[in-house]
Amino acid sequence: MQAAPNPPDFARAVQAIEDLDQMRSELAKTIDPTADITPQTMQEVCKPVGMKARQLSQDNGWQVKQVAKKYRNPDHAPQNLQETMTIAKFTQHPELLSYSQIQGDRLHYYRRINIESSCLACHGPKDNRPNFIKAKYLDDLAYDFKAGDLRGLYSVIIPSLEAAPINPE
């Protein structure tokens, strides 16, 4: 008998990622495009999203992370063929908001992250990136985006429950 993912966990994960993306969007709106972008801006806008993703992992036993083809943080690079193929799927289908699949005994859930206009202060033209980003991220690939582009994905891996017997005694 094959174990199946816990449907309430899946529903909770979907809602948690929607909440996380809403938080990201609201924080992004606080960026003043006329102000200088500083390391403090990243601490207030970008860091809380990563911290919340880690907290979701710890609180729920899920693996929650961000994955991107054009990443700034090497931890966000695709780690396997499945992640690479999933990014390609979202790139080829801009209308696709989320995608899930069972692989082995785990459920993988992916949710699109789009670039918002306020994100372009750091993710727009390569030469316009703030100097501290150029200095800190020498292998940065997360630039030359336009508003609405696919920035990356939230990736959630939900472990399954042990399979329950069909006829419990």
How many other CB atoms are found less than 10 A from the CB of residue 25? 15
pLDDT at position 50 over 90? yes
Answer whether 0.75 is exceeded by the pTM: yes
| pLDDT score recorded for residue 160 | 72
The fraction of the chain above a pLDDT of 70, given in percent, is: 91
| pLDDT score recorded for residue 105 | 84
pLDDT tens per residue, range 71-116: 999 999 999 999 999 999 999 999 999 999 988 888 999 999 999 9
Overall average pLDDT of the 114-142 stretch = 94
Backbone φ and ψ of 75, nearest 5° = -65, -15
Structure tokens given for 64: 């929650």
pLDDT at position 2 over 90? no
Overall average pLDDT of the 151-161 stretch = 89
Residue 1: pLDDT band by 50, 70, 90 thresholds? Answer: very low
The fraction of the chain above a pLDDT of 90, given in percent, is: 79
Q: Which of 6-10, 58-62, 83-87, 154-158 has the lowest mean pLDDT?
A: 6-10
d(CA 54, CA 65): 7
| pLDDT score recorded for residue 5 | 53
Q: In Å, what is the CA distance from 115 to each residue of 2, 4, 23, 82, 167? A: 39, 34, 14, 23, 50
Helix/strand/coil (H, E, C) string of the chain? CCCCCCHHHHHHHHHHHHHHHHHHHHHHCCCCCCCCCCHHHHHHHCHHHHHHHHHHHHHHCCEEEEECCCCCCHHHCCCCHHHHHHHHHHHHCCCCCEEEEEECCEEEEEEEEECCHHHHHHHCCHHHCCHHHHHHCCCCCCCCCCCCCEEEEEEEEEECCCCCCCCCC
Q: Which of 56-65, 100-109, 134-143 has the lowest mean pLDDT?
A: 100-109
